Chain A
Amino acid sequence: MANVTLRNVRKTYLGGFEAIKGIDFEVGDGQFCVLVGPSGCGKSTLLRMVAGLETITGGEIDIGGRVVNQIEPADRDIAMVFQNYALYPHMSVYNNMAYGLRNRGMAEGEIKMRVEEAARILELGAMLDRKPRQLSGGQRQRVAMGRAIVRQPKVFLFDEPLSNLDAKLRIAMRVEIRKLQRRLSTTSIYVTHDQLEAMTLADILVVMNGGQVEQIGNPLDIYQKPATTFVASFIGAPPMNLMPLRSDELKSQLSGDSRISEAGILGIRPEDFVITGESMSGGIALGLTVDSIERVGAETFVYGTRQKEEQGVAATPGELPPGEIIVRIPGAVGPAIGERIRAVAARDKLHLFTADGRKRVGG
């Protein structure tokens, strides 16, 4: 049980490339922290720095009140679950889990107890004598978790552990990981690029981009109040619609709003639109021509082009091409392709950002 604290952590490679540009955050005892971001944002590097597999070129990492910068991975009291599981292919499941304990000189009796306990929790009891290649993907994943559990470490580190599994198994394992972590209440840091995994698992969500933290907080807070346009478009699927506030049409609709002077970009989540003929006081209304429709059963996504099209907005990752708007409506009914519709969003559903997208305007 331990806190993990990062203080101005930096990583600069020999060639001068700065992978991590000064990161600060703290994971409280027993909390589940998820690092999320697009590939290449440095999230895996950061996790590997916590694990001790990458050197730290600046700042401090503190695990349970002890600065671990110069400490070997084995002595940091952490356990890591790798994306490809990294099971020892020539060892049985039992030995895979016992290996780390044996290296620490633990008595065989104690090892047996711990491995059997882990196997019971993970329902691996019948497979202890098998080799990893005789197991399915999900079972291998469980062995990798078992290897972490038996160590009873202060911190679990997960490096995209579910990305090699198929969609159905991924959801099942996600739930299992969360249950297991609650039960053991071990501080955990989890890296993923899947925003859904991030939202469902995290106590604290750290959204990263380009080696920096974009936003830290409770997942729902981040969803409801994204701090930058990057976070706004990265968290939530389909992504938030972002529109530059240059046209007089949009501005005039928002004229009563005190935030308007600072704001340069307007964001509206697809689910916050209502398709209606009525006007909504204080809200915003967009006239759209329907381009395409995706019906997934419980909900329908309507892709439309704004009739007064705006061009020339610099696209940030995950953003739609200028002028295209996604509207999410419940149920399987909706407009037809080519139809002209009016999408309305209430005033309190609007997100406003500065023109460079780096700052949220207002609450």
Chain B
Amino acid sequence: MVEHRPLNDIIAYAILTFGVFIVAFPVYLALVASTHDAATVVGGHMPATPGGQTLDNYYRAVFVGGARTSREPVANMLINSFVSAIGIAVGKIFISILSAYAVVYFRFPFRKTAFWIIFITLMLPVEVRIYPTYKVVADLKMLDPYAGLILPLIASATGTLLFRQFFMTVPDELLEASRIDGAGPFRFFFDTLLPLSVTTIAALFVIQFIYGWNQYLWPLLITTKDSMQTIVIGIKKMLVTTDELAEWQLAMATAVLAMLPPVAVVIFMQRLFVRGLVQTEK
């Protein structure tokens, strides 16, 4: 039985509103800071309402770049981030759906071992294997180009596991019906398994796009040219100054811009994303 009393509702809403406030306030502050001029932000008394420098700040951030520190305009960083995040997300999905297909549907020697090895790599995040990975990428002369940003990050145990769990719920009879209908492994994969996996793919895409977008340590290590910087690193670099004041208003504008693509991905794919994670209908 669900109790329904006005007082309960008020308390519940108050708690929820408080929670939202805690999460949203810093974001609001960043938004406000990005609309004032440098002096106001640095002055120590942050106004609580937006200022009049919006267009100027964003124009400078996107097309000119910070005058004193980072020499790269944000537009370029956004492109870099976007290419690598898409590359990482698509690459992860591609690799993990294929490896899950192999592990679930093919009987080959050491199948279980292969699965467990993939599973164990879950315990080894990028940070742990960063030195060997760096060495390999450097030896392959992949420092700086997109390949260096993307390839080392696309193997995904999480994705493989997610697809494996999904494939296990697909009834065996579908495979058998396909075999009787004359569909080989490729046909079964493309005609049946892939269309059924759409929601899982969407869920994984959202997670991995954000993962790729938020990468910090790896791009920091392997990009040597400013033109290959991703936006997350760009923000950081804008704040590292020696004798000058950091251009906080530009950094905040950049931060706001950096936030937009992941938010857009989540909003547009929300429906599929949720269905992919809770799906029961087959």
Tell me, yes or no, whether A binds B.
yes
Q: Compute how far the CA of A89 lies from the CA of B171 in the bound complex, rounded to whole angstroms.
A: 11
Q: Mark B203-232, 1 if CB is under 8 A from A, else 0.
A: 000000000000000000000000000000
Instruction: Judge whether B181 and A100 touch: CB under 8 Å.
Output: yes
Residue in A closest to B170 when the chains form the complex, CB atoms? A89
Chain A residues with Cβ below 8 Å from B187 are: 103
Known pairs A89-B282, A90-B195, A103-B187; A74 contacts B173 (CB<8 A): no
Instruction: Judge whether B182 and A133 touch: CB under 8 Å.
Output: no
How many residue pairs link A and B with beta carbons under 8 A? The number is: 58
Number of chain B residues close to chain A: CB under 8 A = 17
Instruction: Judge whether A80 and B176 touch: CB under 8 Å.
Output: yes
Q: Which of A89, A90, A100 contacts B180 (CB 8 A)?
A: A100
Q: Mark B176-200, 1 if CB is under 8 A from A, else 0.
A: 1101111100010001100110000
Q: Compute how far the CA of A79 lies from the CA of B195 in the bound complex, rounded to whole angstroms.
A: 24
Instruction: Judge whether A100 and B182 touch: CB under 8 Å.
Output: yes
Residue in A closest to B195 when the chains form the complex, CB atoms? A90
Q: Mark B258-278, 1 if CB is under 8 A from A, else 0.
A: 000000000000000000000
Known pairs A99-B191, A103-B187; A86 contacts B182 (CB<8 A): no
Q: Mark A55-89, 1 if CB is under 8 A from B, else 0.
A: 00000000000000000111100111011111111
Chain B residues with Cβ below 8 Å from A83 are: 173
Instruction: Judge whether A74 and B174 touch: CB under 8 Å.
Output: no
Q: Which of A78, A79, A88 contacts B192 (CB 8 A)?
A: A88
Instruction: Judge whether B196 and A72 touch: CB under 8 Å.
Output: no
For residue A51, CB closer than 8 A to chain B, the reply is yes
Known pairs A90-B196, A99-B191, A100-B182; A80 contacts B282 (CB<8 A): no
Known pairs A82-B176, A84-B171, A133-B281; A89 contacts B196 (CB<8 A): yes
Residue in B closest to A103 when the chains form the complex, CB atoms? B182
Instruction: Judge whether B179 and A73 touch: CB under 8 Å.
Output: yes
Chain B residues with Cβ below 8 Å from A133 are: 281
Chain B residues with Cβ below 8 Å from A103 are: 181-183, 187
Instruction: Judge whether B179 and A74 touch: CB under 8 Å.
Output: yes
From B182, B187, B192, B281, residue with most partner A Cβ within 10 Å: B182
Chain A residues with Cβ below 8 Å from B179 are: 52-53, 72-74
Instruction: Judge whether B183 and A86 touch: CB under 8 Å.
Output: no
Chain B residues with Cβ below 8 Å from A80 are: 176-177, 180
For residue A104, CB closer than 8 A to chain B, the reply is yes
Residue in B closest to A85 when the chains form the complex, CB atoms? B173
B110 → A minimal CB distance (Å): 16
Q: Compute how far the CA of A72 lies from the CA of B180 in the bound complex, rounded to whole angstroms.
A: 8
Complex A-B, nearest 7 residue pairs according to Cβ-Cβ distance, in ascending order: A100-B181, A86-B173, A74-B182, A103-B182, A86-B177, A90-B195, A82-B173
**Residue ranges of A at the interface with B (Cβ–Cβ < 8 Å):** 51-53, 72-75, 78-80, 82-90, 99-100, 103-104, 133, 147
Given contacts A75-B182, A86-B176, 12 further A-B contacts (CB under 8 A): A53-B176, A53-B179, A74-B182, A79-B180, A82-B173, A82-B177, A86-B173, A86-B177, A88-B192, A99-B181, A103-B183, A133-B281
Ordered by A's residue number, 13 sampled pairs between the chains whose C-beta atoms are within 8 Å are A52-B179, A53-B176, A53-B179, A74-B179, A74-B183, A78-B180, A86-B176, A86-B177, A89-B196, A89-B282, A100-B181, A103-B182, A103-B183
